[in-house]
Amino acid sequence: MLLAILWTRFAPWTFQLRTPLVIANWKLQGSRDLCGKFKSELRIPSNVEVWIAPPALYLDSLVSGQPTSAKVGVQNVHFDEAGAYTGEIAAGMVRDLGGIFSIVGHSERRTLFHETDQVVAQKFLACCEAELTPVLCVGETLDQREEGIAKEVVWNQVAEVLEKCDPAVFGRAQLAYEPIWAIGTGVVATPEDAEDMHGHLRSMIADSTVLTGEELRILYGGSVKIDNASQLIAQANVDGFLVGGASLDIVQFNSICQIASGN
Ligand code: PEP
């Protein structure tokens, strides 16, 4: 069974379609020292993409001098391109500094900074306009899962964005399923639960848009560690990881990238 899944996942034809992607989300952590480690010690397997989301202040440290071999982006942008928004950064500025993506709608932004689905959709569009790839995060609370409404909640978060944007543009984004109860808690979704939600999202996208859903990478996030990554990546619809805590340790992070490669 495992061999069959691995074959479907990593066979040359599917491999072309969705190269595994691992994104490091440092959150409000990191330093020039950590940037240095990610420049000199990061090992990216040839069949994996790695992106780093440091605090925006460190974007330049990662791309200047001898730059890191990973692509670099940020954890959040404002929805407007400029204006009187003290403390904010714009998607165009990230692009100007060499960033290529922004995380959008991380649950910590939704809960701690009260970002609604509408604001998240506006930020998604701001990224697209500035030619940054949005990494759209969606996920349910534990209560919602226990109530049996996880799929509905998560799909509504995606639908709010899809309503406002051209599906072809949406198809160039990355999606990350991050159950809120698994983020930073050490509790990881079972591979079966992750696969069930990823498969649901992919088929909903196929049913509600002109996209087939096959082109879209759907990452899993929530307490990904060395010891749970292999079972998660073995799922046919899990195309990589969004990694928080474990991305602050270059040795652990390198191992997770290696696991994502399937080798
Ligand atoms: C995250 O920051 O998106 C995340 C999944 O964090 P952690 O890996 O620490 O749970």
Burial of 79 from C-beta contacts in 10 A (0-12 / 13-18 / 19+): buried
| 106 in active site | yes
pLDDT tens sequence across 236-248: 999 999 999 999 9
Residue 215 vs residue 120, higher pLDDT: 120
Pocket of ligand 1 (CB under 6 A): 25, 27, 106, 178, 183-184, 221-224, 242-246
- As a whole number of angstroms, the distance between CA 87 and CA 142 comes to 32
pLDDT score for 257: 98
**Percentage of the chain surpassing pLDDT 90?**
87
CA dihedral 138, 142, 148, 154 (to 10 degrees): -10
pLDDT score for 12: 41
Global pTM reads: 0.93
pLDDT score for 263: 82
Give the distance (Å) from ligand 1 centre to CA of residue 35.
Answer: 19
Query: Does residue 11 register a pLDDT over 50?
Result: no
**Percentage of the chain surpassing pLDDT 70?**
94
Instruction: Compute the mean pLDDT over every residue in the chain, rounded to the nearest whole number.
Output: 93
Mean pLDDT of 43-51: 97
